[in-house]
């Protein structure tokens, strides 16, 4: 039986960057992290592939997360200083200082609002001519147990190792 969670997200952009709003309905919070890894508790994993066109080598080689894939973890029940973590790889400006993250837990779940500047993604120029590989995973754990369920936007659970499973965000006027 799948846990009773639901999630929605909205994405928008302007000249400064990408804005995401993710709402997760989850009435069974994972509670105190108790040393669990970010993906083992309630929370979000977000992946940003700034070079989805980079397809060098064999299919197996192209699947790997390359240096232009940034990753964000949002853990709503962590202490405020650990609630938002970033894995920048080779994106030098993809950092906690550059990216704004607001987490609002509630009795019904939690809401996350992220603002990611274009500079953090190393993107510039008219966005209508760009695209971004993107994946959002919502992890669900009950109590102190490790996450038993994951809801993803585009992939089937292989996103942490296969960037070709990401969806593509296109920017329209």
The mean pLDDT value of the chain amounts to 86
56 domain-assigned? yes
pLDDT at 153: 87
160 domain-assigned? no
Residue 28 has pLDDT above 90, yes or no: no
111 domain-assigned? yes
pLDDT tens by residue, 76-91? 988 888 899 999 989 9
90 domain-assigned? yes
Residues of the domain holding 9: 5-155+165-170
Q: Provide the CATH number for the domain around residue 81.
A: 2.60.40.1190
Backbone torsions φ then ψ of 102, nearest 5 degrees: -120, 125
In whole angstroms, give the CA distance from residue 62 to residue 105: 37
Decide if 39 contacts 136 (C-beta within 8 A): no
Total domains, the chain: 1
Report helix, strand or coil for 59. helix
129 domain-assigned? yes
pLDDT tens by residue, 32-76? 777 888 888 889 999 999 988 877 777 777 777 788 889 999 999
Helices and strands counted in the chain (H then E): 1, 10
Residue 113 has pLDDT above 50, yes or no: yes
130 domain-assigned? yes
Strand ranges in the chain using DSSP code E only, listed in sequence order: 5-13, 17-26, 43-49, 69-74, 84-87, 100-106, 109-117, 131-140, 149-152, 167-170
pLDDT at 162: 79
In whole angstroms, give the CA distance from residue 95 to residue 84: 10
Residue 3: pLDDT band (50, 70, 90) is: low
Task: Give the rounded percent of residues in the chain with a pLDDT score beyond 70.
Answer: 97
The two structure tokens encoding residue 138: 């919502």
139 domain-assigned? yes
pLDDT at 127: 80
Residue 1 has pLDDT above 50, yes or no: no
Query: Who wins on pLDDT, 52 or 102?
Result: 102
Distance set, CA 159 to CA 115, 142, 170 (Å) = 22, 22, 19
Residue 165: pLDDT band (50, 70, 90) is: confident
């Amino acid at each position: 039986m799948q846990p009773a969670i639901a999630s929605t997200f909205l994405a928008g952009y302007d000249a400064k960057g990408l804005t995401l709003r993710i709402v997760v309905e989850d009435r069974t919070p994972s509670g105190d992290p108790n040393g669990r890894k970010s993906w083992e508790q309630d929370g979000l994993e977000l992946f940003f592939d700034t070079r989805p066109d980079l397809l060098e080598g064999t299919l197996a080689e192209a699947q790997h997360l390359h240096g232009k894939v940034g990753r964000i973890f949002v853990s709503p029940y962590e202490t405020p200083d650990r609630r938002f973590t970033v894995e920048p790889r080779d994106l030098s400006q993809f950092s906690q200082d550059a990216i704004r993250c607001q987490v609002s837990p509630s009795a019904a779940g939690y809401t996350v609002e992220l603002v990611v500047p274009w500079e953090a993604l190393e993107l510039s120029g008219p966005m209508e001519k760009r695209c971004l590989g993107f994946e959002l995973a919502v992890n669900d754990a009950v109590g102190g147990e490790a996450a038993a369920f994951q809801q993803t936007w585009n992939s089937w659970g292989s996103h942490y190792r296969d960037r070709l499973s990401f969806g593509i965000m296109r920017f329209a006027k």
